[in-house]
Amino acid sequence: MDEQFGLDTVAAEEAVVSVFKQIVAVLARQADAAIDDPALLQLANRLFAAFARAGEEGMTAEQIRAACADYPDEAIDNRLGVLRKLGAIQPAFDKPYQREYRASFTSYVSMLFVQRMLVRGGQSELHQLLTMEKIRLEGGQGTAEEALEVVVGITTALRLLVAELVALTVGGTVEALLERAPLLWNAKSLIDQASAVHEILLEFWPELSRQCGQLRSAIAAYGDASTNASARLMAAAGTSRALNLLPPEMWKRFARQATVEELAAVLADQVFDAPSPWHDVADLAEAVAGRPQPTSGRSTPPRSRVPDDDERPSQEWSDAEAERLAGVAEEVLNGGDSVAVEHLLSTVDWVTARRVLADLVAASNNDRLGYRLAWSGPVQVRAGSVPSWLTRGVFERVRRPA
């Protein structure tokens, strides 16, 4: 479990670094100029928090090191040197031999921008861009050069967005598509905003009709790409309604990240035992994948209405099953009118309790019998007990047998 948590942590840190590299790539002079260690980003965040607490007086180099004492001295010196050279940390006062520094507001806001880009994948910036451009161009304000810049920029952004989304939908896995779901958020709103900007451009700058046609094409392509991606996600969700068909990665991710309350809420109205710990998730998934498939669509041949010599009519089978269930119910009630399910399941092994529970459910669902199985309260997680998951319930008599 510790190893899994470690792997998840590394994956999350690599995602942060990946987004950061993409953001600064257009400004980097060399390929190795960007940060490739998540700890350096965390250290920068710690530095800005310390400067915020210090206020207008700033901080000395010694105070900076004290605020980041849990980081190596080499890492602190490296960050201070880089941040000073790039202007993220500047002298607090314009005087000789001053020792105090202050942090740049612009640099910290850029960190907030990186964090939002990591969560939303850049789509929120595209929403804001479209909103600002619509306001700027309304009423025919601006020059033709500015209008051309707007239409080219929006078309390029949408085409890049479509290319990434199509690649994930056609060639990527469902897991990768789920992780990049921010590309699907508010797709209709994004299309409406882009269409509104297109109408303004075409109304006041008709000479840009060719470029506006390319924008219309990009908007339509994004609509198709988002629809196809959503259809694939919905199809995957449809086949995953049976819990035994969920991908093993989804089982493991939810089990690691969910709280006890979230785990309990999954089956709040059910009584069941957790899967045997010695059954590996991958083995369960392989067993499900290898289940027998129907080989043809041929229907079952019709059977004669005349029963065989050793075959009893279905009514007799039904009567026999009802009698058996009534016998089990009376044995469980032991002369009383109700019994707690918790008491029944806690006094026997789980294999027996599972069989008894199945019979009680069948007796409760049989309209010819006068018994009812009622559940109440949330599910309880009882580690080390049998069953380990339990919902309180009562098996009771509705009417006395005739």
pLDDT higher for 38 or 61?
A: 61
DSSP structure class, residue 37: -
Three-state DSSP state, 31: coil
What is the separation of C-alpha 270 from the centre of its chain, rounded to a whole number of angstroms?
Answer: 24
Three-state DSSP state, 155: helix
Write down the pLDDT at residue 245.
Answer: 47
**Which two structure tokens, joined as six digits, stand for 77?**
């010196």
Write down the pLDDT at residue 195.
Answer: 93
pLDDT higher for 229 or 91?
A: 229
Residue positions counted in the chain:
402
User: Is 193:266 a contact under the CB 8 Å cutoff?
Assistant: no
Q: What is the mean pLDDT of the chain?
A: 75
Query: Over 50: is that where the pLDDT of 74 sits?
Result: yes
Mean pLDDT of 226-254: 67
Write down the pLDDT at residue 207.
Answer: 93
- Least-confidence region, from 4-13, 42-51, 95-104, 116-125: 4-13
Region of 276 please: left (phi>0), alpha (psi -120 to 50) or beta: beta
Identity of residue 33: A
Query: Over 90: is that where the pLDDT of 215 sits?
Result: yes
Rounded Cα gap, residues 347 and 351, in angstroms? 12
Share of the chain above pLDDT 70, in %: 68
pLDDT confidence bin for 241, thresholds 50/70/90: very low
- Cα dihedral 207, 210, 214, 220 sign: positive
Query: Over 80: is that where the pLDDT of 184 sits?
Result: no
Write down the pLDDT at residue 199.
Answer: 92
- What are the beta bridge partners of residue 394? 340, 374
pLDDT confidence bin for 213, thresholds 50/70/90: very high
pLDDT confidence bin for 19, thresholds 50/70/90: low
How many CA within 13 A on the CB side of residue 270? 10
Rounded Cα gap, residues 37 and 246, in angstroms? 34
Write down the pLDDT at residue 325.
Answer: 86
CA angle (34 as vertex; 28, 37 as ends), nearest 5: 175
Based on the number of CB atoms within 10 Å of its own CB, is 399 exposed (0-12), middle (13-18) or buried (19 or more)? Answer: exposed
Query: Over 50: is that where the pLDDT of 10 sits?
Result: yes
Write down the pLDDT at residue 266.
Answer: 66
Write down the pLDDT at residue 219.
Answer: 93
Q: Which helix (H) or strand (E) covers residue 374, if one does?
A: strand 371-381
Three-state DSSP state, 391: strand
pTM: 0.47
**Which two structure tokens, joined as six digits, stand for 322?**
């009802």
Share of the chain above pLDDT 90, in %: 9
pLDDT tens digits along 85-133: 878 887 777 666 667 888 877 777 777 777 777 666 667 778 788 888 8
Rounded Cα gap, residues 158 and 280, in angstroms? 43
Query: Over 80: is that where the pLDDT of 329 sits?
Result: yes
Query: Over 90: is that where the pLDDT of 256 sits?
Result: no
**Which two structure tokens, joined as six digits, stand for 104?**
């740049």
Rounded Cα gap, residues 353 and 207, in angstroms? 79
pLDDT higher for 243 or 289?
A: 289
- What are the beta bridge partners of residue 4? none
Query: Over 90: is that where the pLDDT of 393 sits?
Result: no
